[in-house]
Amino acid sequence: MGPMRLLALLGALLAGSLPAQDTPPPVRTKVDLVSLDSHAVPGQTLRLAFRFRCDPHFHIYWVNPGDAGEAPRWTWTEAAGLAFSPGIRWPGPIRIDLAGVLNFCYEGETHLFVDAKVPADAKGTLRLKAKVEWLECDDKGCYPQEKEVSLEIPVGPSSEPRITPGIQASLDRLPSETHTVKGKVSADGSSLRLTETLSGRTLRTVLQPDEFFPIRNFVAPSTKLGPVAMTAAPAEGGKSTALAIASLSLKDATEGLADGPLGYVALVKDNRSGKSRWVNVAIELDEKPSSAGETPAAPAQPAKSPEPAAAKGWQPWSPDAQARALAEGRTVYIDFTARWCATCQVNKRVYGNLPLAADLAAANVVLLKADWDKRDEVIRAELARYGRQGIPLNVFLRQGADPVVLPEILTPGLVRDGLAASLAGKRLELAESSASWMLFLAFVGGAILNLMPCVFPVIGLKVLGFASQAGGDRAAALRQSLVYALGVVLSFLALGLLILALKSGGTAVGWGFQMQSPGFVLGTAALMVLLGMSLAGAYEIGTGLASTAAGGGSSGAFLSGVLATAVATPCTAPGLGAALGYALDDRRGSAETLAFFAVIGVGMALPYVLLVSFPSLARRMPRPGEWMETLKQAMAFPLFAYALYLLWVLSAQVDDAGWVRDAGIGMAVLAAACWVWGRWGAPHRTDAERLWGRLAAAGLVAATLGHLYWHLPA
């Protein structure tokens, strides 16, 4: 196949494989209104259900969502004269544990059942409409949704059931019976004992079921039933009955016993048939005196206010959630975060500090997570209130007090100090650390950056370079290592200058801010693919970064230092976080901040300079040989892996699944362009073949990147 035909074929593939843009992201749950009856019979009950069908890995919530979440709700906008029965019939849920946050949820297809009385004079067709609101979540975040659903059902003298397999599965999960048990609060208010006198049927399985879901959080969602003790008690006629006792801890409850009905839904196994069934268990508090003549003490109730750090956990941020908590006089802690923000992920390690978690719980702090994965406008506007255009941002709020904004890099001590400042209504005063100690941490952190995942792919390029120089001209090798170091240090200084310039213009940015730009992430992913294809042997860049790093020239050494710095900034190394927090503090002067960035660059570049400067170290490196080609090709795979990681980052940043798919296809087209360049641009080809081959490859690269950047979502 000639180069022109190849260009035409690849161009057609590119045009056909990149679908039209501006496709809104799909809702992950399909919702509609269905009837379990074929006709509405006048004067009789009509069985209706709201059907929810979640995509794989997504879920919605039960009547009690557990530690976090929100149950579906709806408002009837057209009721056709129906009288709806109070309450909803909720099928039994499943338990989902997301990093210690327990939720009661539904996955797949679920029906929530509603009964309605049909008017006696109904005729024709009944038209029903309702506005449904729900929260759909996966392990990456939660997304509020709403939809208007409708149903038309004819009126007739009789009706036939319309039970689909999905409806039947939901009906099978409805509680089939209700048991009532007695509840007695302990003297210290820490536990609730459940008792039941047994007669004929054993209720041990009801009291200690396979699955236990409280309908309210009068106990913590993580509560387990038991232990159960069986005791014999004499009864009339010489017979005996058994008393089953279960104990429920009230210590971590986020609702009071008196706040509503007490009970739970349980999945129990029938002792005779071996089949499982769902049951309702209602709890009646026993307020009788424990012995004659005694006046019972009022049972101690758990605090109605939740303890987020210990029980409630992180809740989704919203302006309403923030306003409600502040109106209750609570302290609010907001973590503005996203999964693509590397610094945010490093900061999350702080929340695993048990003493800090205890302090937050003792102060009754509401923990809110503002998840900016999709860069929505509500969170963007909230960031602007604090003078920020990017994340991370962590802030304490109290009613009537100024916000306490924490430094960009968190430590348990900083969060604790911020909490104390917020409770006292004061400004956060950061303790001054030794500048020399912070410079040392900056240097060590820069050196450790070489071992971080962001930098590792580029290290492979330098390893090849040093291996090719081993035993050669040491002066030339030393010169290239110094040029590489210069590229690293100057790049860090340029980054520091850019941050200072943006801050002076009123924009709050910080370490790794450029990785918050989808355009920068896309360009870095494309560069990783181009470099990886060169290392894999598909083509030769010539004097570009990859070949130069393997022994090619001072300009390439400098550019590889720039590249190493660019990909290093999403990462933070041990010690580097504290040094960056110190350097980026508003109290640092510009010269001091730039000095820190320069020291980080020196720390990152110094290992390479030392390796070349000391012959004893250089002699330990293996001599050039065939192994270098194997290593060179193997080092392509970390670059490809990093490109895949960047595509994952893009999927979190861009709220357009179609564009993200195009970006993945585009990476494959770039790889094909590299192959075309190497195949038809090789030296043994004729001049015409080299010209057309390189034009075809360059055209594919330009068309692909042009298409992606032109349609890059804002």
Which residues, in sequence order, are bridge partners of residue 294?
none
pLDDT of 112: 95
pLDDT of 107: 93
- Does residue 240 have a pLDDT over 70? no
pLDDT tens for 646-683 read 888 787 777 677 888 888 899 999 999 989 888 887 77
- Average pLDDT in the 260-265 region? 83
Considering only CA atoms, which of 515, 508, 642 is closest in space to residue 566? 515
Strands 101-107 and 59-66, by their bridges, are antiparallel
What residue spans of 306-433 are helical by DSSP H? Answer: 319-327, 342-347, 354-362, 377-385, 412-424
Contact 708/656 with Cβ under 8 angstroms? no
Higher pLDDT, 635 or 490: 490
Other beta carbons within 10 Å of 495 = 22
Higher pLDDT, 16 or 537: 537
Q: Which of 141-145, 201-205, 429-433 has the lowest mean pLDDT?
A: 201-205
Considering only CA atoms, which of 549, 519, 576, 566 is closest in space to residue 631? 549
pLDDT of 570: 57
pLDDT of 93: 94
Q: Name every residue whose Cβ is closer than 8 Å to that of residue 182 and which is 6 or more positions away in sequence.
A: 194, 195, 196, 283, 284, 285, 286
Average pLDDT, the chain: 75
The winner for highest mean pLDDT among 214-228, 231-245, 607-621 is 214-228
What residue spans of 179-332 are helical by DSSP H? Answer: 204-207, 319-327
pLDDT of 94: 92
Q: Which of 94-98, 119-123, 476-480 has the lowest mean pLDDT?
A: 476-480
Higher pLDDT, 256 or 149: 149
Distance separating the N- and C-terminal Cα atoms of the chain: 40
Identify the band that residue 108 occupies on the pLDDT scale cut at 50, 70 and 90: very high
pLDDT of 406: 86
What percent of the chain has a predicted confidence (pLDDT) above 70?
69
Distance CA 165, CA 597 (A): 63
Contact 391/508 with Cβ under 8 angstroms? no
Distance CA 678, CA 546 (A): 15
Distance CA 707, CA 696 (A): 16
Q: Name every residue whose Cβ is closer than 8 Å to that of residue 686 and which is 6 or more positions away in sequence.
A: none
Contact 208/246 with Cβ under 8 angstroms? yes
Distance CA 197, CA 507 (A): 69
Higher pLDDT, 356 or 139: 356
- Does residue 284 have a pLDDT over 60? yes
Higher pLDDT, 573 or 265: 265
Distance CA 218, CA 304 (A): 9
Contact 522/662 with Cβ under 8 angstroms? no
Which residues, in sequence order, are bridge partners of residue 625?
none
The Cα diameter of the chain in Å comes to 111
pLDDT of 151: 93
**Hey, which bits of 206-299 come out as E strands?**
211-214, 229-234, 240-249, 263-269, 276-285
Higher pLDDT, 701 or 233: 701
pLDDT of 466: 53
pLDDT of 220: 81
pLDDT of 6: 41
pLDDT of 551: 45
Residue type, 414: L
Q: Please give the helix or strand (H or E) that residue 447 lies within, else none.
A: helix 435-448
pLDDT of 62: 92
Distance CA 587, CA 173 (A): 61
Distance CA 574, CA 582 (A): 14
Distance CA 479, CA 556 (A): 12
Tell me whether residue 366 is exposed, middle or buried, using C-beta atoms within 10 angstroms of its C-beta: 0 to 12, 13 to 18, 19 or more. Answer: buried
Distance CA 103, CA 62 (A): 9
* Distances 460 to 31, 66, 610, 636, 680 between C-alpha atoms, Å: 51, 48, 17, 9, 28
Contact 408/401 with Cβ under 8 angstroms? no
Q: Cα-atom radius of gyration of the chain, to the nearest Å? A: 33
What is the SS3 string spanning 581-646? HHHCCCCCCHHHHHHHHHHHHHHHHHHHHHHHHCHHHHHCCCCCCCHHHHHHHHCHHHHHHHHHHH
Higher pLDDT, 274 or 366: 366
- Does residue 178 have a pLDDT over 90? no
> For the chain, percent helix, then strand, then coil, each to nearest 5?
45, 25, 35
Identify the band that residue 215 occupies on the pLDDT scale cut at 50, 70 and 90: confident
- Average pLDDT in the 256-283 region? 78
Distance CA 395, CA 402 (A): 10
Considering only CA atoms, which of 43, 29, 186 is closest in space to residue 110? 29
Higher pLDDT, 334 or 586: 334
Identify the band that residue 36 occupies on the pLDDT scale cut at 50, 70 and 90: very high
Contact 680/692 with Cβ under 8 angstroms? yes
- Does residue 372 have a pLDDT over 90? no
- Does residue 567 have a pLDDT over 80? no
Q: Name every residue whose Cβ is closer than 8 Å to that of residue 233 and which is 6 or more positions away in sequence.
A: 197, 240, 241, 242, 243
Distance CA 34, CA 110 (A): 12
- Does residue 483 have a pLDDT over 80? yes
Residue type, 109: E
Distance CA 134, CA 293 (A): 53
Considering only CA atoms, which of 372, 431, 432, 360 is closest in space to residue 396? 360
pLDDT of 47: 94
Residue indicated by tokens 């920020």:
388
Distance CA 494, CA 496 (A): 5
pLDDT tens for 425-451 read 887 765 555 567 677 777 877 777 776
- Does residue 131 have a pLDDT over 60? yes
Higher pLDDT, 592 or 510: 592
Q: Which of 294-303, 349-358, 379-388 has the lowest mean pLDDT?
A: 294-303
- Does residue 43 have a pLDDT over 60? yes
Identify the band that residue 620 occupies on the pLDDT scale cut at 50, 70 and 90: low
Higher pLDDT, 114 or 635: 114
pLDDT tens for 310-364 read 335 788 888 888 888 888 888 999 999 876 666 677 777 788 777 788 788 888 8
Contact 652/140 with Cβ under 8 angstroms? yes
